[in-house]
Amino acid sequence: MSDTITITTAEEREAIIGAVREFADTELAPFAAERDEKHLFPRESLRKAGELGLGGIYVREEFGGTALSRTDTVAIFEELAKGDPAVAAYISIHNMVAWMIDTYGDETQRAQWVPQLTAMQEFGGYCLTEPGAGSDAANITTSAVRDGDDYVLTGVKQFISGAGEAAVYVVMARTGEPGARGISAFLVPGDAPGLSFGPPEKKMGWHAQPTRPVILDGVRVPASALLGAEGRGFAIAMSALNGGRLNIAACSLGGAQWALDRAVQYVHERVAFGEPLAEKQSILFQVADMRTDLQAARLMVSDGARAVDEHSPDATMRCAMAKRFATDAGFDVANRALQLHGGYGYLQDYGIERVVRDLRVHQILEGTNEIMRLIVGREMLRPSGSASLQRSGGSSAERSGGSAMRSAS
Ligand SMILES: Cc1cc2nc3c(=O)[nH]c(=O)nc-3n(C[C@H](O)[C@H](O)[C@H](O)COP(=O)(O)OP(=O)(O)OC[C@H]3O[C@@H](n4cnc5c(N)ncnc54)[C@H](O)[C@@H]3O)c2cc1C
């Protein structure tokens, strides 16, 4: 993709971030509490995000993508999350799907789906996790059986973001041998006969987007719905996660920065023991540490983004390190911002508790933070010269997805 992304100047980048900030300030932030309380999925706001070019941020331009670098992308997600981390996180998942179809799809698939996704006229879903296979994603059991010119898909996908709202689902299903090499990816339309959705999960956070099981009961799709080659589905799914992890990490940065800004304001206003909290050195130390931790996390996220932009062979490891570090730091900073608000931090009126709830899941999905450690450790301890599945072939975009293939949704 390096030959197709736009390298922005500092001025262009500032203009892009300014437009995203205005969108977050006007379209996301004012309604975040209501969306959280009423569990509203903001279709209209998402369509406006599409008009702004946020439906295919790192998708090529031919079918409406914005073709920005991952370095610009993470800066965009940080700004979006300052407005509403739950909506920003859904935009991330949608972008993963648009990118997968643009990168691995043939011309017909790209023409059919990518323009609608980049415009956010339609939404996307990413279906890897199953009830019996989360971290151990290479062990999925959803099957896709060839029947004449079709495949027939049967199984259950668990925890699917945007389920019931999406027009297209990238579904990873088993077409062959056990393990990663027997998995293929399929484009399943949201209205396919046999496709249905379980009830929305009742969650701690992320109320602005539905999370539901996706049930495939003999869903028949034409062979032309196969994304990439048979047996490449796991590699495709993993390569999309590099970007997804960076975006989620950036969403943690944005949510936490917002909470820290509120805390800084609050400690100036709140008087205790005859002076504003801000006068106390222990408070000053706390906000200094919070800012420092976020800055360190931001640098790691930028490093991961640079690794993907440069197709670095260690991109997967650097993205995993950034995801683990930034989502831990983001949750910790938001939680400390809540503590600095005392009892008021626990009230919905202040918005901090919502952000804490929203950021908590970032430590779990797109690969748990334990799995991020597994990826880093395996990469460090891998015998020199041993090749990963992705390095044995595939596109340059796949190769930039690196190794650590065993687990990770
Ligand atoms: C709100 C939400 C939205 C989601 N959206 C999507 C989506 O759109 N699409 C999708 O495909 N999935 C989605 N997921 C699924 C998510 O990716 C999984 O929940 C995650 O990968 C963990 O899988 P699991 O829940 O099965 O936990 P498990 O894999 O069962 O893990 C349980 C615990 O064991 C730990 N663990 C597991 N294996 C190891 C190991 N080898 N070493 C050390 N520790 C280990 C884990 O870190 C975790 O702490 C979503 C999840 C949530 C909560």
Asked if 182 and 173 touch (Cβ cutoff 8 Å), the reply is no
Verify whether residue 34 is a known catalytic residue.
Answer: no
Q: What are the distances in angstroms from CA 384 to CA 312, 380, 388, 407? A: 17, 9, 11, 21
What is the reported pLDDT for 262?
A: 98
CB 155 within 8 Å of CB 184? no
Question: To which CATH superfamily is domain 10-123 assigned?
Answer: Acyl-CoA dehydrogenase/oxidase, N-terminal domain (1.10.540.10)
Q: Please tell me the distance from the alpha carbon of residue 403 to that of residue 181, in angstroms, as a whole number.
A: 14
User: Which residue in this structure is represented by tokens 């190794």?
Assistant: 403
pLDDT in tens, 111-125: 999 999 999 999 999
| Pairing outcome for strands 183-189 and 143-147 | unpaired
* CATH (one of 1.20.140.10, 3.40.50.300, 2.60.40.1180, 2.30.31.10) for 234-399: 1.20.140.10
Q: How close is the Cα of 134 to the center of ligand 1, in Å?
A: 5
**Residues near 324 by Cβ (< 8 Å), separated by ≥ 6?**
369, 372, 373, 376
Catalytic residue among 366, 370, 379, 398: 366
pLDDT in tens, 227-271: 999 999 999 999 999 999 999 999 999 999 999 999 999 999 999
Measured between alpha carbons, how far is 38 from 354 in angstroms, rounded to an integer? 13
- Mean pLDDT value of segment 67-93: 98
pLDDT of amino acid 382: 86
Q: Are 300 and 358 in contact (CB under 8 A)?
A: no
Task: State the distance from the centre of ligand 1 to the C-alpha of 237, rounded, in angstroms.
Answer: 15
- Provide the token pair at 111: 């023409």
Domain layout of the chain by residue ranges: 10-123, 125-231, 234-399
| pLDDT (tens digit per residue) in 388-405 | 444 333 333 333 333 333
Q: For the chain, what is the radius of gyration of the CA atoms?
A: 21
Q: How many angstroms separate the CA atoms of 111 and 147, rounded? A: 26
pTM of the model: 0.94
The pLDDT value recorded for residue 235 is 98
* Residue 366 backbone zone (phi > 0: left; psi -120 to 50: alpha; other: beta): left
Q: Whose CA is nearest to atom 29 of ligand 1?
A: 135
CA–CA distance, 153 with 276 (Å, rounded to integer) = 62
Q: For residue range 20-48, what is the model confidence (pLDDT) as tens digits?
A: 999 999 999 999 999 999 999 999 999 99
Which tokens in the block code for residue 35? 């969306």
Q: How far apart are CA 194 and CA 191, in angstroms?
A: 9
Distance separating alpha carbons of residues 235 and 408, to the nearest angstrom: 11
Q: For ligand 1, is residue 225 a contact (CB within 6 Å)?
A: no
Q: Is 252 in the pocket of ligand 1 (CB under 6 A)?
A: no
Separation of alpha carbons 365 and 388, rounded Å: 23
Q: Domain 125-231 - what CATH class?
A: mainly beta
Q: Any bridge partners for residue 220, and if so which?
A: 152
In contact, 405 and 390? CB cutoff 8 Å: yes
